[in-house]
Amino acid sequence: MKTLYLAIKYLAILVWSCFVVFPFLWALTTSFKTANGVTGGATWIPWLQYEPSMHGWKTLFGGAGGTDITGPYLNSIIVTGSASLISIVLGTLAAYGLSRFTFKAGFVRNGDITFFFISQRIMPPIVLAIPFFLLLRQLGLLDTLAGLVLVYIALLLPIAVWVMVDFFNNVPRQLDEMAWLDGCTPMTTFYRVILPNSVPGLIVAGMFCLIFGWNDFFFAFTLTFTNTQLLPVAIVALNSSVTPWWSLSASALISVAPLILLAFVVERFLSRGGLAGAVR
């Protein structure tokens, strides 16, 4: 009975894995094909079924008359990385304050402030495009990395606050009180006791920020012209009258690569079960 259950379980996982892995396989083979190979039908085995070529990969990095994608790639890393980092730092501090201390400003309470943060994500991004554009033009930050970082912080901060408020609300208050009675001020309580126990929450918030930031096309497209290009825009720009399936596939693979890497690194942290044993 147990063997049967295991067999069914692994079979199901296998089928689902095939389903998920298939697009990657398709992209991988296509990235090594030429125009003839692509139009020659669904073929999988190099040398036997089609003649592999590095053409797609070469054009991606500026060879064979293509445009080099390294610049936008680095831009994307800088913008997503720094915006995520700043959002996590600010968002975690804000979330701790919202979770632990009572704020009153007229009729505004903690819940309202939290909702204000989250409400930034309720609006469709297009509503923000024109204000952001005007704002950045005023500041002289259009088409610059700094401008993009600012806009991305506005985009990612609500996610960080949202995830971390929820996380801190589930951290028992007695832990804070215990730290106070052991001589910690609220600030030392935060970084000596609460932060070391918040690694799982920080990882989840960080993952969300990195994924959202990395994948954003809309603001990367509307707030830049030619100087500062991010990866999603650069990939779309590969398109011309003839769709270059080979270099598109290659670029798709290298654009998801960092996220795949991240998932492998983070997985072991998430499964460790952070707060076990704080309060029984």
Partner 1 sequence: MSALTLQNLNLTVDDEIWLDDISLHLEPGGLYTLLGRTGAGKTSLIRAIAGLEDLNGGRIWHGDTCWNGLAPWRRPVAMVYQQFINYPHLSVLDNVAFPLRRAGVGAEEARERARGMIDKVGLSPMAGRRPGELSGGQQQRVAIARALTKDAPVLLLDEPLVNLDYKLREQLREDLVELLAGRRSTIVIYASTEPSEALQMSSRLLLMEEGRVVQEGLPRAVFDAPASIGAARIVNDPPINILSMTLDSDAAEVESLGYFPLDALFGRERLADIGEAGLAPGQYYIGLRASDLQLAPEGRPAEVTLTEVSGSETITHLDMAGCHLVLHERAVVNHRVGSQIHVRPRLSTVFIFDRNGALAHVAHPARGMD
Q: Give the footprint of partner 1 on this chain (CB under 8 A).
A: 172, 174-175, 177-185, 188, 193, 196-197, 274-280
In this complex, which beta carbon is closest to partner 1, that of residue 139 or of residue 279? 279
Beta bridge partners of 108: 105
In this complex, which beta carbon is closest to partner 1, that of residue 124 or of residue 196? 196
Round to whole Å and give the CA distance between 160 and 98: 13
Cα–Cα distances (Å) from 136 to 122, 130, 141, 219, 234, in that order, read 22, 10, 5, 12, 21
Buried b (16+ CB within 10 A) or exposed e, 105-130: eeeeebeebbeebeeeeeeeeeebbe
In this complex, which beta carbon is closest to partner 1, that of residue 113 or of residue 178? 178
In this complex, which beta carbon is closest to partner 1, that of residue 9 or of residue 173? 173
In this complex, which beta carbon is closest to partner 1, that of residue 86 or of residue 171? 171
The full 3-state SS of 195-245, as one line of letters, equals HHHCHHHHHHHHHHHHHHHHHCCHHHHHCCCCCCCCHHHHHHHCCCCCCCH
DSSP letter at 273? -
In this complex, which beta carbon is closest to partner 1, that of residue 1 or of residue 187? 187
User: Residue 194 Cβ, how far from partner 1 at the closest point, in Å?
Assistant: 10
The answer to whether 143 and 220 have CB atoms below 8 angstroms apart is no
Beta bridge partners of 61: 68
Going through the chain in order, the beta strands assigned E by DSSP cover none
User: Residue 43 Cβ, how far from partner 1 at the closest point, in Å?
Assistant: 54
